[in-house]
Amino acid sequence: MLNPYASLLGSRPPLAVIAATAGQLQALAARLGPSGLEQPRAPGKWTARQIFSHLADCEIAFGFRLRQAVAEERHTIQPFDQDLWARGYAHTRAEAALAAFLALRQWNVEFIERLAPAQLAKKVMHPDRGEMTVAVIVETMAGHDLNHLAQLETIAARPPAAK
């Protein structure tokens, strides 16, 4: 099954991308400032604050998926509807989302760093994407990061008056 996020990685190692994301998010939050956090990248799209909230939620989901995949044989991943989860983002605070992401990401990076090659090769089933390995989950995390970092960069690159 083709991983839709893998193409975003190019030749970059997934773990290096994942490990760098926390610092990039901190820098983006500072560049955006309070008004920039409330701006979407385009009409009808999530605001930067909502993207931070989504990233924190996804870090919970990815961490859970990784641990289940490593612990269980032939685990089936439970997908989730990001738009349903996003309904709760109207009142989330970017600072809280970022703090949650930073703590969870550190914990997940340490978990991934300890994985043996056999664990990375373990197969799991995704109901929508088919069979994949733990390594593909890691690639997906990295590509997902790059996708949302690019969205946040688009918002942050606007002149201050446009934020």
CATH number at residue 133: 1.20.120.450
**Neighbour-count burial for 109-132, b at 16+ CB within 10 Å, e otherwise:** beebeebeeebbebebebeebeeb
For position 160, what pLDDT does the model report? 64
CB 136 within 8 A of CB 112: no
Share of the chain above pLDDT 70, in %: 96
- Report which of 96, 97, 116 is spatially closest to residue 53, judged by C-alpha positions: 97
Does the model's pTM come out above 0.85?
yes
Per-residue model confidence as pLDDT tens digits over 125-152: 999 888 999 999 999 999 999 999 999 9
Per-residue pLDDT, averaged over 85-95, amounts to 92
* Domain annotation covers residue 149: yes
Provide the pLDDT for residue 7: 83
Range of the domain at 42: 13-82+90-158
Q: Is the pLDDT of residue 45 over 70?
A: yes
Classify residue 8: in a domain, yes or no: no
C-alpha to C-alpha distance for 41 and 60, rounded to whole angstroms:
24
Mean per-residue pLDDT for 92-97?
A: 96
Condensed to tens digits (0 to 9), the pLDDT of residues 112-122 reads 999 999 999 99
Our count of domains for the chain comes to: 1
Average pLDDT over residues 46-74: 96
2: pLDDT strictly greater than 70: no
5 falls within a domain: no
33, part of any domain: yes
SS3 assignment, position 103: helix
Alpha helices per DSSP H over the chain = 6-9, 14-37, 48-71, 82-86, 94-113, 117-120, 134-156
Cα 2 to chain centroid distance, Å, stands at 18
Residue 7 lies in a domain: no
Q: Is 55 contained in some domain? A: yes
Residue 64: inside a domain: yes
pLDDT value of residue 150? 96
